[in-house]
């Protein structure tokens, strides 16, 4: 499903060049639960952004579902992000002026899904993450754990092939962190492919499939 070969990413900030990733080879199969760990600044988010088609590598090959993203234009990448990939961020990244319902509805809107189907999908996914009674709340009226559930619902609503989560429990207290982690595990057990950056040691209780990144490279 994900095939990376010799990925390198260089950031050019003024005169200084930062090599955020180098010699990265990675394979992820359908149904995997891959966790990514590593110290701060090691390049985990950079890798995640490339996998999520938010960013392009400086060199190397990245094939998603057998298609090389190098050859894709911005519109195609937007469509991939919309339909193939579900993003969950550490700081939730919900639209502050939109209700729970509207936040979750947004990817469907971008995909051009009709109103009736949108309503069905949003309601059922909110049911699944346990937020049916918070549909018309704004993000600032929700707890951290609830916000992250909204974000997960939004990531899932277009039935993506991969869910990418960048420290989804990083901003949560232990209790809600555990609940969110459980939610991901449930999703994985349903057959979803999940890649998660985490510092949470409990992740290892559910999967032994993890990679460690230091200094922009994957440790053996």
Partner 1 sequence: MAETINNIFKTLLLVKLFIRELKKERRKIFLTIAGIAWGTLTIILLLSFGQGLTTQMLRGQKGLGDNIVILYGGQTSIEYKGLPQGRRIRLMEEDCDLLKNSIPEIDRIAGEYDAWGITYKYGETVVNERVRGVSSVGYEDMRSQFPQPGGRFLNENDMLARRRVIFMGCDLKKKLMGDVDAVGKTVLLNNIPFTVVGVMQKKMQMGMYGGPDAEAAVMPASTFRGIFSDVYVDRIIYQVNDIDKSKYVNQQVRRVLARKYRYHPDDNNALNYWDVIEGSKQTRKAFTGITIFLGVIGAMTLIIASIGVANIMYITVKKRTREIGIKRAIGAKRSLIKIQFIIEALLIDLTGGFIGGAVAYTIIRLVESIPQDNADFGKNMAMQILSNPEFSWTIAISTCVILGLVGLLSGFFPARKAAAIDPIKALHYE
Q: Which residues bind partner 1 (CB under 8 A)?
A: 49, 52, 54-55, 74-75, 78-79, 81-83, 87, 89, 93-98, 102, 106-107, 109-112, 154, 158
163 neighbors 155 (Cβ within 8 angstroms): yes
Taking the least distance from each CB to ligand ATP, the nearer of 38 and 52 is: 38
CB of 112: closest distance to partner 1 in angstroms?
Answer: 6
SS3 category, 84: coil
Q: Could you give the string, one character per residue 46-65, with x where binding to ligand ATP holds by CB under 6 A and - elsewhere?
A: x-------------------
- Dist CA 161 CA 45 (whole Å): 19
Candidate segments 6-14, 38-46, 52-60, 202-210, binder of Mg ion by CB under 5 A = 38-46
* Joined tokens for residue 14: 């003024």
The entry of ligand ATP, partner 1, Mg ion, none that residue 89 binds, CB within 5 to 8 Å by partner kind = partner 1
Taking the least distance from each CB to ligand ATP, the nearer of 13 and 114 is: 13
- What is the total residue count of the chain? 220
- Map tokens 């309503």 to a residue: 119
Is 45 a residue that touches Mg ion (CB under 5 A)? yes
- Cα–Cα distances (Å) from 81 to 134, 180, 217, in that order, read 26, 22, 25
The entry of Mg ion, partner 1, ligand ATP, none that residue 201 binds, CB within 5 to 8 Å by partner kind = none
169 neighbors 133 (Cβ within 8 angstroms): no
Is 82 a residue that touches Mg ion (CB under 5 A)? no
Closest by CA position to 44, among listed 188, 163, 196: 196
Closest by CA position to 70, among listed 80, 52, 57, 51: 57
Candidate segments 37-45, 63-71, 80-88, 111-119, binder of Mg ion by CB under 5 A = 37-45
* Joined tokens for residue 177: 């962190």
CB of 22: closest distance to ligand ATP in angstroms?
Answer: 11
The entry of partner 1, Mg ion, ligand ATP, none that residue 148 binds, CB within 5 to 8 Å by partner kind = none
Angle formed at CA 45 by CA 194 and CA 35, multiple of 5 degrees: 35
Residues of this chain that interact with Mg ion (CB under 5 A) are 45
Residues of this chain that interact with ligand ATP (CB under 6 A) are 11, 13, 18, 20, 38, 40-46
């Amino acid at each position: 499903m994900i095939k990376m070969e010799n990925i390198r990413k260089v950031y050019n900030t003024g005169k200084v060049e930062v090599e955020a990733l180098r010699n990265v080879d990675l394979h992820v199969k359908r149904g995997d639960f891959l966790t990514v760990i590593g110290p701060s600044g090691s390049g985990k988010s950079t890798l995640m952004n490339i996998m999520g088609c938010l960013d392009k590598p400086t060199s190397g090959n990245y094939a998603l579902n057998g298609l090389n993203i190098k050859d894709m234009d911005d519109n195609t990448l937007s469509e991939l992000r919309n339909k193939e990939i579900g993003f969950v961020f550490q700081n939730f990244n919900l639209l502050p002026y939109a209700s729970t319902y509207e936040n979750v509805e947004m990817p469907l809107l971008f995909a051009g899904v009709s109103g009736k189907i949108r309503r069905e999908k949003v309601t059922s996914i909110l049911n699944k993450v346990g937020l049916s009674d918070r549909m018309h709340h704004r993000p600032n009226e929700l707890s951290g754990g609830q916000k992250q559930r909204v974000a997960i619902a939004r990531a899932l609503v277009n039935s993506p092939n991969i869910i990418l989560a960048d420290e989804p429990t990083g901003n949560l207290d232990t209790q809600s962190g555990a609940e969110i982690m459980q939610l991901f595990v449930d999703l994985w057990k349903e057959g979803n492919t999940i890649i998660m950056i985490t510092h949470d040691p409990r992740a290892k209780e559910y999967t032994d499939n993890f990679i460690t990144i230091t200094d922009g490279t994957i440790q053996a």
